[in-house]
């Protein structure tokens, strides 16, 4: 008991619990994220977990923030290292495609899975997941607008439409890759994003071939 | 008891149970499709339900077949009434977009929701859901190939790539529409499908404007 309490109070163990929660959620759902599963996976006590999160909803919201931080570190931060303009828009999607295909999550992408799971369940979990999607679309729109300002994407680019389509391609990629596993689905996703960006790009040599 | 038994044995009630099961699954998940919920929604007895399906998995598989039949009647059949060629490819997606946006299912589309839910859970439910997606992609590819043969889509159309992208657009539409409800998301989806088809079409006047 005391050992478990000390263990779970430590930041390192808090991270381990949340890592496991993100992984389990892509497999069994965020609603199915039971204390019993976490206890079994990690070998900590229920009372140790309760020291951090008093309710299932608190635990779900903490899991969302943890997944968001992972995604920011593994997708957004490296993409922002690319030069501003169309190359940064591409880098964002190149990293996202690699993430949803290569990452060790059974369901491919925590957010796509959780967002579908909560799409018809009102409440704080739904609202936070919707806000994360809105934030992603806003980021895509901002980087795309920068590429238009830089003259690298055509002035008549429909930024809102493009952000919807690029997000749909990656959402479709998560969907397809887990159910039709024989396909080289990363190549399908890369080609779709590059096709859309190259058609709008004033200098396609800035982008890889499809 | 006897009344319940008679009621549920009737085909009309079997249909009512499966209608409710499809709707509940888009809200709470196919795994969360409990006898208790069906009993509460429909006011039938557990023993009455057990007369039809002996296990949860049998009930889930029956729900999938029921949703597939609904989709075939509401999306595939009307699309096949359009003239063979690019207009039939468009009709298929026009009906599918209307279905996922307008249908009375809380989660928008039974299959997209259930496929994400089961993407990382091996077993007969996963396999059947994957087979339904493969069937949909094969139908899109067949209608697209007919449009190429008819000379209405360019001879160099990458049919497999196009089927992936058209499916991704509608998957993204379900995702987006339930989480960013202020958007006219049907218009975003229609424009994305039409843009892709018109770019490949030898006679764009066969298709509506974007």
Asked if B133 lies within 8 A of A175 by C-beta distance, the reply is: yes
CA dist B64 and A146 (Å) reads 45
Asked if B116 lies within 8 A of A119 by C-beta distance, the reply is: no
Residue identified by tokens 């499709």 is B33
The Cα of A150 is separated from the nearest Cα of chain B by a number of Å equal to 25
Mutate to test the interface with A, among B179, B194, B200 (most CBs of A within 10 A): B179
Structure tokens at A152: 């690298």
Q: What is the pLDDT of residues B181-199, one digit of tens each?
A: 887 899 999 999 999 999 9
Mean pLDDT in residue range A41-59? 77
Asked if B167 lies within 8 A of A175 by C-beta distance, the reply is: yes
Structure tokens at A30: 């965020």
Window B:79-118, CB contacts with A under 8 Å: 106-108, 112-113, 115-117
A25–B contact, CB cutoff 8 A: no
Backbone angles phi, psi at B153, to 5 degrees: -115, 145
Residue B9 — pLDDT band, cuts 50, 70, 90?
low
Q: Cβ-count burial of B170 within 10 angstroms (0-12 exposed, 13-18 middle, 19+ buried)?
A: buried
The Cα of A189 is separated from the nearest Cα of chain B by a number of Å equal to 8
Q: What is the pLDDT of residues B95-151, one digit of tens each?
A: 999 999 987 788 889 999 999 999 989 999 999 999 999 999 999 999 999 999 999
pLDDT at B50 over 70: no
Domains of chain A: 2-204 (1.10.357.10)
Mean pLDDT in residue range A51-76? 92
Kindly provide the ipTM of the predicted complex, given to two decimals.
Answer: 0.90
Per-residue confidence (pLDDT) for residue A1, from 0 to 100: 40
Nearest to A119 among B119, B172, B178 (CB): B178
A182–B contact, CB cutoff 8 A: no
Mean pLDDT in residue range A75-93? 98
pLDDT at B5 over 60: no
Residue identified by tokens 């900590």 is A44
Q: What is the pLDDT of residues B159-173, one digit of tens each?
A: 999 999 999 999 999
Q: What is the pLDDT of residues A23-35, one digit of tens each?
A: 989 888 898 777 7
Give the dihedral sign, CA B105/B109/B115/B117: negative
Per-residue confidence (pLDDT) for residue A108, from 0 to 100: 86
């Amino acid at each position: 008991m005391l050992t478990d309490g000390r263990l779970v109070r430590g930041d390192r163990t808090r991270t381990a619990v949340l890592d496991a929660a993100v992984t389990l959620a892509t497999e069994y759902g965020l609603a199915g994220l039971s204390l019993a599963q976490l206890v079994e996976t990690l070998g900590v006590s229920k009372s140790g977990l309760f020291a951090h999160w008093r309710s299932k909803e608190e635990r779900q919201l903490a899991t969302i923030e943890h997944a968001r931080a992972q995604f920011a570190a593994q997708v957004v931060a490296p993409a922002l290292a690319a030069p501003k303009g169309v190359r940064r828009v591409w880098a964002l999607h190149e990293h996202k495609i690699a993430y949803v295909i290569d990452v060790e999550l059974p369901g491919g992408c925590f957010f796509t899975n959780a967002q579908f799971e909560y799409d018809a369940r009102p409440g704080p979990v739904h609202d936070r997941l919707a806000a994360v999607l809105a934030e992603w679309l806003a980021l895509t729109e901002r980087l795309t607008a920068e590429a238009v300002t830089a003259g690298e994407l055509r002035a008549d680019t429909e930024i809102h439409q493009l952000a919807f389509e690029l997000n749909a391609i990656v959402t479709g990629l998560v969907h397809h890759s887990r159910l039709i596993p024989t396909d080289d689905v990363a190549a399908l996703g890369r080609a779709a994003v590059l096709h859309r960006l190259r058609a709008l790009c004033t200098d396609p040599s800035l982008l890889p071939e499809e």
